[in-house]
């Protein structure tokens, strides 16, 4: 049975980059919805979502190490 290897470059904060991207996209959508779905703030929503998700993942990773 062949196993799929995952390179370090495709993993960030203990998760595959694709999964992190998905989490950020969902969070950005939620942020947009909470603001009433007004256009013009997509990048701000994305960057805020990215900050939140990465902070949460870093906290989870730190807790697992201790």
pTM attached to this predicted model: 0.71
So what's the pLDDT on residue 3? 42
DSSP label at residue 16: E
**What residues make up the domain containing 33?**
14-65
Encode the chain (66 residues) as per-residue pLDDT tens digits: 444 444 334 445 567 889 999 999 999 999 999 999 989 999 999 999 999 999 999 988 888 877
Q: Could you tell me if residue 7 is inside a domain?
A: no
For the chain, the domain total comes to 1
DSSP helix/strand/coil, 11: strand
pLDDT in tens, 13-29: 567 889 999 999 999 99
Q: Could you tell me if residue 5 is inside a domain?
A: no
Q: Could you tell me if residue 51 is inside a domain?
A: yes
Burial per residue of 23-60, b for 16 or more beta-carbon CB atoms within 10 angstroms, e otherwise: bbeebbeebbeeeeeeeeeeeebbeebbebbeeebeee
Please give the radius of gyration of the chain, using alpha carbons only, rounded to the nearest integer: 15
Cα atoms found within 13 Å of the Cα of residue 56, Cβ hemisphere only: 11
Q: Could you tell me if residue 32 is inside a domain?
A: yes
């Amino acid at each position: 049975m062949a196993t799929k290897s995952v390179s370090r470059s495709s993993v960030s904060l203990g998760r595959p980059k694709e999964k992190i991207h998905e989490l950020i996209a969902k969070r950005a959508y939620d942020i947009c919805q909470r603001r009433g779905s007004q256009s013009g703030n997509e990048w701000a929503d994305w960057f805020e979502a990215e900050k939140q998700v990465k902070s949460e993942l870093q906290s989870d990773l730190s807790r697992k190490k201790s």
